[in-house]
Amino acid sequence: MCVRAFRGTTLVRIRRAKACGAKIVVLKDMRGRSAYELKRDTARRGLPALVRASIIVVLCLGFVFAGGFLVFATHVGRLETPADPGSADAIIVLTGGVARLDAAVQLLQEGRGKRLLISGVNPVARPLDIQRATGADGDLFTCCVDIDRDALDTIGNAAESAKWLEQNAFRSAIVVTNNYHMPRSLLEMGHALRNARLTPYPVVTNRLDGGQWLGSRSALRVLFTEYTKYLAALARTTVLPPRAGNPASVVVEAGATPDSVER
């Protein structure tokens, strides 16, 4: 068996030497690399460019996703219920919690809007049950509260709210929902509505400011779920054309951010 030693060897020369049955002893190549380093560098160069590019893209998207979630969670955590939301033609509350209904009814009682739309009500819920749950005055509830039972999700809330505003010739509305739900609600309504002004009224049931959401597993789960839904809504509203007319404008308060209606 012959022994061959190469300096400045290449992988081609090593393979040729192996083919003749020689024992290969690689000292150093011209760059001072050992056989192990040479094979490692060769393996790296052999990684397809498409694979390397895909890995880089995935890593970049991961950083963007994580950074976006941090911005989203921080924004939601800073949302506060405005002390004075001003007045509007109407008030719209998206169902999902008693605190939302209580806040909306309180705004109606204060005269912040002419009428109140409760969007996304369970079909089996009676108006009397809702009125009793909120403690609202019976006469006020009968004259000034409309109930939407058709909306099944936030997209439906926006669509039914748009119909209701147009039917009543309202040009402005106070939107009431939880703080974590507010960004997606405004996004969907801004896409469905035209020639309208929206004032957000976020309801805060759990404090999330100061990074408190980082220490709560349930808060993290809610924020992460809502963030992914927001991204999906953002993609959908970007692809689908909006309705004709001027887009709805959103008023950001300090510290915050026909058969379908039953009368």
What pLDDT, on the 0 to 100 scale, is given for residue 3?
46
CB 182 within 8 Å of CB 60: no
* Two structure tokens written together for 79: 């949302």
**Domains in the chain with CATH codes:** 3-46 (no CATH), 76-262 (3.40.50)
What is the C-alpha to C-alpha distance for residues 214 and 74, in angstroms, rounded to an integer? 10
What pLDDT, on the 0 to 100 scale, is given for residue 12?
47
What pLDDT, on the 0 to 100 scale, is given for residue 39?
58
CB 74 within 8 Å of CB 80: no
CB 78 within 8 Å of CB 204: no
Beta strands 261-262 and 145-148 are antiparallel
**Tens place of pLDDT per residue across the chain (263 aa):** 544 444 444 544 555 555 555 444 444 445 555 555 555 555 555 567 787 788 888 999 999 999 999 999 888 888 889 989 999 999 999 988 788 999 999 999 999 999 999 999 988 888 888 888 888 888 888 889 999 999 999 999 999 999 999 999 999 999 999 999 999 999 999 899 878 899 999 998 877 766 667 667 888 898 999 999 999 999 999 888 766 555 556 664 433 433 334 43
What pLDDT, on the 0 to 100 scale, is given for residue 96?
82
